[in-house]
Structures are given as C-alpha cells and as structure tokens.
Chain A
Amino acid sequence: MANYNVQITNGSGSAGMKKGGYSVTVTAAGYDATSLSPSTYSATESAGSGNFTVSAEGVLTLVFNETGAEGGTPVTSGSVIMTDSTGQTEYGSAVTISATGEAVFNNVPYVSGAGYPLYFVQKSTDADHNLYEGVISVNMENATETQYVLNSHIAEQTFTLTDANYSGLPVNAATLVFTGE
C-alpha cells in the first residue's frame, strides 16, 4: 500500500510512484473536487504520465457598453474569449456577445475572498463601437460575478478633399474609401 500527494502548480506536477492501481482525489481552490476525472490511475514499472480534469461552478457575465459601468448603452454583438494573462494563449471557444451586450462564461473557477484570476480578450464588437484593446482581467471572488467592459462609441470623423494644385479648391464630388488594417 502506497500513498502519494502530488502538488500541482500551473497545471502540472510529478512524483516517483510504485507500480499499481491508485484511487485519486483532489483539492483545488476554485474547483469542485467531486468533478475530478478520472478518479483512478495505474502506474506501471516505467515512467508515465496522467491527464486529469476538474470542473468549476462559477458564472461570469461580461457586459460590454459605452461607459464600462452599469447602465451604459450596450453593444449589440461581438465575441470574447478566455486567455492567459498575456492574452496570447486562448482557451476554450469564443463566447458571443448578445444583443444586450452580455457574454456569459459558465463553469469558471472562483475563490471566496482571495479570488481566482481570469483573463479575456475581446475579439469583435458591433459596427458602432470600438473594440476593447488589451486583456480584460477579472478576479472571481463569488459564484456569480458581473464585470463591465468599455466599448466606446465610434467618433465622427470629418474629412475634406481639395485640389492639390489649387489650394483650397474643394473637389466637387468624390468618394473616400477607408479599409481597415
């Protein structure tokens, strides 16, 4: 009979173990310990590895609007995805922003008091608003959290088109085409 406690940090950990079958349990702040899968592990005489998953029960609602606070005019479409702290590594699938500006992330981890840090990047927004640039940081302290994200309304841009050779002579009729980068 052998027992081992393996510390997991940032998703991984290791230990030397005797061969045999083991039952496995977990403690993980922010997660439901009963959701651990699988719940058994078989170690052989060779070095090996095991992959486990665990699930959480928090719900996070990101609200995208013109003020970044409660009560602002919401955007009407778009998408947002969970990432790492740098915003470079994406996790899971992008979540659609609803017509009321809300994107709901179910089954996210949370820790009462200390919180659990989560990061997101907005992928798109509607035609009348500017995308939030950078990484959205959320500290999940409660089972249900709402956080507001600023999507400023697009500003009106005024253009003039004049003749290059006769300073100030307005071009009678023309169309300027602006293509996004």
Chain B
Amino acid sequence: MKARLIVTVSENALPALITVRSMGGRLILYKKIYQRRNFLCFCSCERDLIITVRPYNADFYEKSYFIKLWRCPTYYIRLDFAFTNNSERLQVFYLVDENYGIPVKQAELFFSGGG
C-alpha cells in the first residue's frame, strides 16, 4: 500500500528529522531531514506505524504519532507537529530597597546555573 503524508512542523523547530518506523520500531521505512512544509510519500506493507519528528534544535524533544493503516491502497494523512520553545519562560523580577521598599533605580541581576 502507499501512504501519502502531509506533515507540518512549527517553524521554530525546523530543520527536523522525520522517521517512519514499523510499530516494533525495527523497520525504518522513511527517513528524511525536513526543512520546510512538505509532502512525504512512501510505500509500506506495514500497517502499524510510528512517525517521529525530531527537531535539530536541542531545546525541543522529539514527538511521535502512532497510526494504523487499514485496508486501503492509498492514505492521505495530515499530521501537525507543533513545537513550543519549552526551554524558556518569561520571568519577571522586582528589586526594592530592603529598608524602605523603594524600587531600586538601576541595577543588574545575574543568574547563573539552570538549564
């Protein structure tokens, strides 16, 4: 059977590696570096597939979809992989005088560690 996939990956996560495996993970049916929105076409006798997107940006973890193909010669499947930058979140800081509570006019805070 033939499977036609429409895979979209959020812009901030590109380029990414697309891999299509059999459910057992042993058989790699498709593997390609994904630069922008694109169509993937491949043929497979496997019905149970795992489609994985792994961004090259180390801030993102890979995501996978499990799909089961039934007895249809051609499939059109649309998969959307949305990646948000989960490594940084907005932190707001307040610095005031300990004794009077007045806002400190000018300062710089240095944060080291984390990640």
Binds A, one of B18-26, B69-77, B86-94: B86-94
Taking A2-B114, A16-B89, A17-B91 as contacts, is the C-beta distance between A52 and B101 under 8 angstroms?
no
Specify which chain B residues have a CB less than 8 angstroms from the CB of A12 in the assembled complex: 92-95, 103
Specify which chain A residues have a CB less than 8 angstroms from the CB of B92 in the assembled complex: 12-14, 47-50
Question: B residues 61-115 with Cβ under 8 Å of A?
Answer: 86-115
In the complex, A105→B110 CA distance in Å? Answer: 29
Which of A24, A31, A92 is close to B104, meaning CB atoms less than 8 Å apart?
A: A31
Q: Is B114 a contact partner of A18 (Cβ separation < 8 A)?
A: yes
In the complex, A5→B107 CA distance in Å? Answer: 10
CB distance from B115 to the nearest CB of A (A): 4
Please tell me the number of chain A residues within 8 Å of chain B, measured between CB atoms. Answer: 58
**Chain B CB within 8 A of A166 CB:** no
Taking A28-B95, A56-B99 as contacts, is the C-beta distance between A21 and B113 under 8 angstroms?
yes
Which of B90, B94, B99 is close to A92, meaning CB atoms less than 8 Å apart?
A: B99
**Chain B CB within 8 A of A109 CB:** yes
**Chain B CB within 8 A of A180 CB:** no
In the complex, A17→B91 CA distance in Å? Answer: 7
Residue on B nearest A14 in the bound complex, by CB: B92
Which of A23, A84, A107 is close to B99, meaning CB atoms less than 8 Å apart?
A: A107
Which of A3, A9, A15, A108 is close to B91, meaning CB atoms less than 8 Å apart?
A: A15
Specify which chain A residues have a CB less than 8 angstroms from the CB of B91 in the assembled complex: 14-17, 41, 43, 47-50
Specify which chain A residues have a CB less than 8 angstroms from the CB of B103 in the assembled complex: 10-12
Specify which chain A residues have a CB less than 8 angstroms from the CB of B115 in the assembled complex: 1-2, 18, 20
**Chain B CB within 8 A of A82 CB:** yes
Specify which chain B residues have a CB less than 8 angstroms from the CB of A29 in the assembled complex: 105-107
**Chain B CB within 8 A of A53 CB:** yes
Taking A12-B95, A52-B94 as contacts, is the C-beta distance between A26 and B107 under 8 angstroms?
yes
Taking A8-B104, A15-B90, A116-B105 as contacts, is the C-beta distance between A37 and B112 under 8 angstroms?
no
Taking A1-B115, A82-B100, A109-B97 as contacts, is the C-beta distance between A16 and B110 under 8 angstroms?
no
Taking A3-B110, A24-B111, A91-B102 as contacts, is the C-beta distance between A8 and B88 under 8 angstroms?
no
Specify which chain B residues have a CB less than 8 angstroms from the CB of A3 in the assembled complex: 110-113
Query: Could you show 20 A-B contacts with beta carbons less than 8 Å apart?
Result: A2-B113, A4-B110, A7-B108, A10-B105, A11-B94, A11-B95, A17-B114, A18-B114, A20-B115, A23-B113, A25-B112, A26-B95, A27-B110, A28-B106, A41-B91, A47-B89, A48-B92, A49-B93, A51-B93, A91-B100
List residues of chain B with CB under 8 Å of any chain A CB.
Answer: 86-115
